[in-house]
Chains A and B, each alone.
Chain A
Amino acid sequence: MEDTSKTGNDGIALKCEGLTKLYTSGLIRTKTVVGARDVTFDIKRGEIVSLAGESGSGKSTVARMILRLIKPTSGDIALNGRSIYSYNIREYYRQVQAVFQDPYSAFNPFYIVDHVLERAFGLREDNLNRDERSKIIRSTLESIGLNPSEVLGRYPHELSGGQMQRLLIGRSLLIGSQLLIADEPTSMIDASTRAGVLNLLLSLKKEKGLSVLFITHDIGQAQYVSERVIVMKQGEVVEQGPVDEVFTRPQHPYTKELLAAVPTLYERWKECS
């Protein structure tokens, strides 16, 4: 176990402070595009936090910085109280994993899906043999409601989007990560299977104490799945707080406008009736 003073006993899994990403292009007349500016928030252990916003709001940029796929221009990200850059890469990815928006892009079409799960064992410290690995894979898949015989040994295009997203969540369980960055995991899968992915995240939070950063443009899903929400617009955080407050009594004009534009199943907009 790590030193508690280091991991911090404040219960915070991930903390972003003043996170900024600027993209500059051109040599002489440089043009700067803001990916994210001064983004500050934290995620507690066993908490699902939604990062909501429209396209171009910078929510994926934040995700990619947390995943160490791009480097921030300035600002700090700390995992368990330590800068994420102080971890070696394998140590870091053992704790932080991701599910991406497009499941068809997340699986290499060249391999059967087992490839992605097998790879995951590369991060684990125990050297398991083939049988042990296969046993763990099967039990993990069963625990997240997938029938191993229906998914293993198949190519990605033979599976549904929902099955693939569950497989990726399963992958992070195999690794044993504590923080999952879910970047629009449900936006490309059908409504009838979407609920399954959301419920899976909720049950993992409850049973395993998994922390999740749930990135979405869908306000309804953010409201269903998370306790706290961060609303972003053009790279900046405009409002954050408990879901029940932000989504029922929005303070910032942008949040108000955004929420007013969300269609709901049970009411019709005044303009449309």
Chain B
Amino acid sequence: MIGMWELLLRSRKFMIGLAVLVILILLGTVGPFLLGDPYYMDLSLMGRPPSFAHILGTTSFGEDVFTQLCSAIGNSLVVGLVAGGLGTLIAILVGAVGPYRGGLADKISSLATNLALVLPLIPLFIIIASVVRGLNLVLIGVILAVTSWPWAARSIRSQVLTLKEREFVNLARMSGQNSVQIVVTEVLPNMLAYIMMVFVILTGTSILAESALSMIGVSTTRTITLGYMLYWAQHETTVPFWWNIWWWFIPPGIVLTALLTAIFVIHAGMDEVFNPRLREI
């Protein structure tokens, strides 16, 4: 196990992805403290191109794009982490309980997984957005989590099913342990690496999903996220052509791409180390 983590640190993919992610996290966490209010509109500076005072220019409402970008990164990450963390937790609970309790519990958890698997995200959000007043980041994260866990639960279930057949599980049972103890102390530790991968993927896909929902205006329209920036840049009507104000939509687009690429490169690096079939010993 120790060796695996060392290999991970030696993986170029993992380290490059991690470096990009760390830079973005720093921008998203430290940036907002240094840069002031992202919602502040300077009406004398509307739609200015990048300059020394505003390195990424200003929006057509006179807001500083870089300041907005930093808090958008932070907020998008919050959504991603809430959704990724909660989604992973649900996936573990639903995925591991079936094989362990068996019988009815297994049937119910499988049914729930299959139902959630076909839950359509966008129509669901359109309904929620029209019903719920004051959607906030955490609530959006929770809703994303509730819709994103099924595939992970399925693969965790199949992993638990194979691990369960290993003799050390029988041995633990013969040491007088009950099912919950066995899952927690014998089965789950062997899946830590996999669970981390699930968390990384769920986080990445949730950030993307939130951006997509913001872009069509069904997510929060009050808190700055990467999708929110794209939404407003897209709906700009004060300039004749949207590309005349390119500094507004290109930075969030690049950051979103970089963030997701970093997350998936981290996942690829982890996969190479943890997946025995890809491991280059």
Contacts and interface: CB of A to CB of B under 8 A. Distances in A.
B136 interface: no
Looking at A89, A108, A120, the one whose CB has the most chain B CB atoms below 10 A away is A108
Contact of A123 (B167, B175, B189): B175
A90 interface: yes
Given A93-B175, A123-B175, 11 more contacts: A89-B176, A98-B171, A100-B171, A102-B167, A105-B166, A108-B172, A109-B190, A110-B186, A111-B189, A119-B175, A122-B177
B5 to A, nearest CB: 13
Contacts of A101: 167
Looking at A107, A110, A123, the one whose CB has the most chain B CB atoms below 10 A away is A110
A105 B175 contact: no
Nearest to A69: B170
The 5 A-B pairs with the shortest beta carbon distances in the complex, nearest first, are A106-B167, A110-B189, A100-B167, A119-B175, A108-B168
Given A100-B167, A102-B167, A108 B186 contact: yes
Contact of A93 (B1, B168, B176): B176
Contacts of A116: 168, 171
B118 interface: no
A264 B1 CA distance: 42
Contacts of B177: 119, 122
Nearest to A119: B175
Contacts of A100: 167, 170-171
B167 A105 contact: yes
A78 interface: no
Contacts of B279: none
Nearest to A102: B167
B174 interface: yes
Nearest to A91: B176
Interface in B169-211: 170-177, 186, 189-190
Contacts of B190: 108-110
A97 interface: yes
A185 to B, nearest CB: 12
Interface string A80-100: 000000000110010001101
A67 interface: yes
Contacts of B171: 98, 100, 106, 116, 168
B183 to A, nearest CB: 13
The B interface, classified by DSSP as helix, strand, loop or mixed, is helix
**Interface residues on chain B, size class:** 10 to 19
Interface of B: 1, 166-168, 170-177, 186, 189-190
Nearest to B166: A105
Interface of A: 67, 69, 89-90, 93, 97-98, 100-102, 105-111, 116, 119-120, 122-123, 155, 168
A110 B1 contact: yes
Contacts of B186: 108, 110
Contacts of A155: 1
Looking at B1, B174, B186, B189, the one whose CB has the most chain A CB atoms below 10 A away is B174
Contacts of A109: 1, 190
Nearest to B186: A108
A122 B176 contact: yes
A126 B184 CA distance: 25
A90 B177 CA distance: 9
A123 B177 CA distance: 9
A214 B164 CA distance: 24
Contact of A105 (B1, B168, B174, B176): B168
A151 B168 CA distance: 18
A107 B168 contact: yes
B260 to A, nearest CB: 31
A119 B172 contact: yes
A120 B176 CA distance: 9
Contacts of A107: 168
Contact of A122 (B166, B170, B175, B189): B175
Nearest to B168: A108
B89 to A, nearest CB: 20
Looking at B167, B172, B189, the one whose CB has the most chain A CB atoms below 10 A away is B167
Nearest to B188: A110
A67 B170 contact: yes
A89 B175 CA distance: 9
A11 B138 CA distance: 68
B168 A123 contact: no
B2 to A, nearest CB: 8
A120 B167 contact: no
B194 to A, nearest CB: 12
A111 B166 CA distance: 14
A8 to B, nearest CB: 24
Contact of B174 (A97, A102, A110): A97
A102 B175 CA distance: 18
Looking at B166, B172, B173, B176, the one whose CB has the most chain A CB atoms below 10 A away is B176
Given A105-B167, A107-B168, A98 B189 contact: no
